[in-house]
Amino acid sequence: MAFPAHIFQALPPFLGGKRRLTALIFAILHDLVPLPEWPTLTFLDPMCGGGAVALASKAMGFDVTASDSSQRGATIAHALIANSTTRLAQHDVLRLLNRVNTSDDHELNDYDLLSLLFAEAANSHGPLRYLLELVLIKAYLKSFPMSLPSATDAQAFQLGDFDRISPHRLITYMKARKLLTPGRLLREAELVNNGVFGGQGTAMQGDALELIQSVPADIVYLDPPYAGTTGYSQSYQALDRLLDDSVESQPPSLASLLEAADRIPLVILSYGGPGVTAESVAEIVSRHRTVIRSLDVPYPHLASIATEKRKSKTREVLIIAER
C-alpha cells in the first residue's frame, strides 16, 4: 500500500521501530478488508512505541487509538495521532529556547539544558506541548551514535566528563552538540510537522492489557517486546527521566495479549527474537483464534553495523488472525 513516506520523518529513531514493515502490513490488510471499508473501522495500537504503524493507519483512513505505557510513546500519540491540525511555528521553538535562561556565568551541559527545555515544553498546553517534546526527543536521540543513549560512554558525554571518552567517539558526540542549536531544532520542527495531517485519532497512555479490554476496536495491532527481552525501558532511562516518566511496568506476555483481545475481530501481530519462527508463533496464536496469514520477514536491526550472519538471523514474524 502506498502512503506518504515523508510522514515518517516526524518520528524519532526508536529501537524496535516498524516503519519498514508498514507497507507489508497494510498490503496484507488490503487483501483481507476492502479499502472502502477502512474509514469505517477502528484501529487500536495499544503498544504504539515509535508510532509508525499508528501513523500509517491514520494516513490510510482508519479511526485510530494509539497508546503506550511510556511517556515517550504516548508523546508521539498525542502529537501526531490525536492531533490533526496544530503545527509548530518558528516562534513556538524560539520562544521555548528563550524561556531557558543560559546567560549565567557557567555553561550548562547538554543534559541539564535538555532538562530545562523539557520542563518548559511541559508547561505548554494542548498539542503544542507534545509537538515540542517530540522535537526535543528527536534532537536528543540524534546526539548519540545510532541514536542509542544507552551507549557505554553516553552518560559521560552528557555530564561533560570527556576524559572517559575515546577521541573518535568524542568527535562524533561533539558534532552532535550542534543538534541543540536553534537552527537544528527548527529543522526538527519542520520534520515533525510532516506527521500532522487530517484524520481520526485518539491518544492515551496506560497498560496495554487494560486498554485492549476497554477500548472498542475492529482491528488491534500487537507489537510486544521480542521474546527473551524486557522492553526498551533500560535503553531509554535517561530520556524517560527527561520526560519525568518513572513508571516501570513489566511487558505483558503474548498469551495475555491474545486473551485480552478475544473480543476484537482481527489481530495483527509482529513478533521476533532468537529462535522465533512463523510456525512457533502461529502455533501460540492458534490457541486463541484462527490464523489466516503467517509470514517470516527478514528484518535486520542496526543494519549498518550488524554482521551478515546476524542480519540473516534477524527476522520479524507477521501474523494475521481472526476471531
Residue 235: CB atoms within 10 Å: 16
Give the CATH number of the domain where residue 274 resides.
3.40.50.150
Last residue in a domain, options 193, 219, 251: 193
Residue 167, pLDDT above cutoff 60: no
Q: For residue 214, what pLDDT band results from cuts at 50, 70 and 90? A: very high
Give the pLDDT of residue 114: 84
Distance CA 298, CA 307 (A): 14
Give the pLDDT of residue 79: 98
Chain centroid, CA 23 distance in Å? 17
287 shares a domain with 224: yes
Element (H, E) at 121: helix 110-122
Domain count, the chain: 2
Determine the average pLDDT of the residues in 225-234.
66
Give the pLDDT of residue 313: 61
Contact 30, 9 (CB under 8 A): no
pLDDT in tens, 26-68: 999 999 999 999 999 999 999 999 999 999 999 999 999 999 9
Q: Which residues pair with 225 in a beta bridge?
A: none
- DSSP result, 209-251: HHHHHHS--SEEEE-PPPTT---STTTTHHHHHHTT-----PP
Chain centroid, CA 170 distance in Å? 27
Give the pLDDT of residue 144: 66
pLDDT in tens, 87-99: 999 999 999 998 8
Last residue in a domain, options 140, 159, 193: 193
211 shares a domain with 290: yes
Give the pLDDT of residue 305: 43
Residue 176, pLDDT above cutoff 60: no
Residue 270, pLDDT above cutoff 70: yes
* Phi, psi of 230, deg, nearest 5: -120, 25
146 shares a domain with 107: yes
Distance CA 289, CA 323 (A): 5
Q: Which domain holds residue 146?
A: 90-193
Which residue bears the cell 561533560? 160
159 shares a domain with 98: yes
219 shares a domain with 162: no
pLDDT in tens, 113-133: 888 899 999 999 999 999 999
Task: Return the percentage of the chain with pLDDT > 90, whole number.
Answer: 59
271 shares a domain with 155: no
Which residue bears the cell 546476524? 310
- The H helix count followed by the E strand count for the chain is 14, 7
185 shares a domain with 103: yes
Rg for the chain (alpha carbons), in Å?
20
36 shares a domain with 16: yes
Give the pLDDT of residue 311: 47
Last residue in a domain, options 163, 178, 193: 193
Strand pairing class (315-322; 63-68): unpaired
Distance CA 320, CA 164 (A): 48
pLDDT in tens, 194-206: 999 999 999 999 9
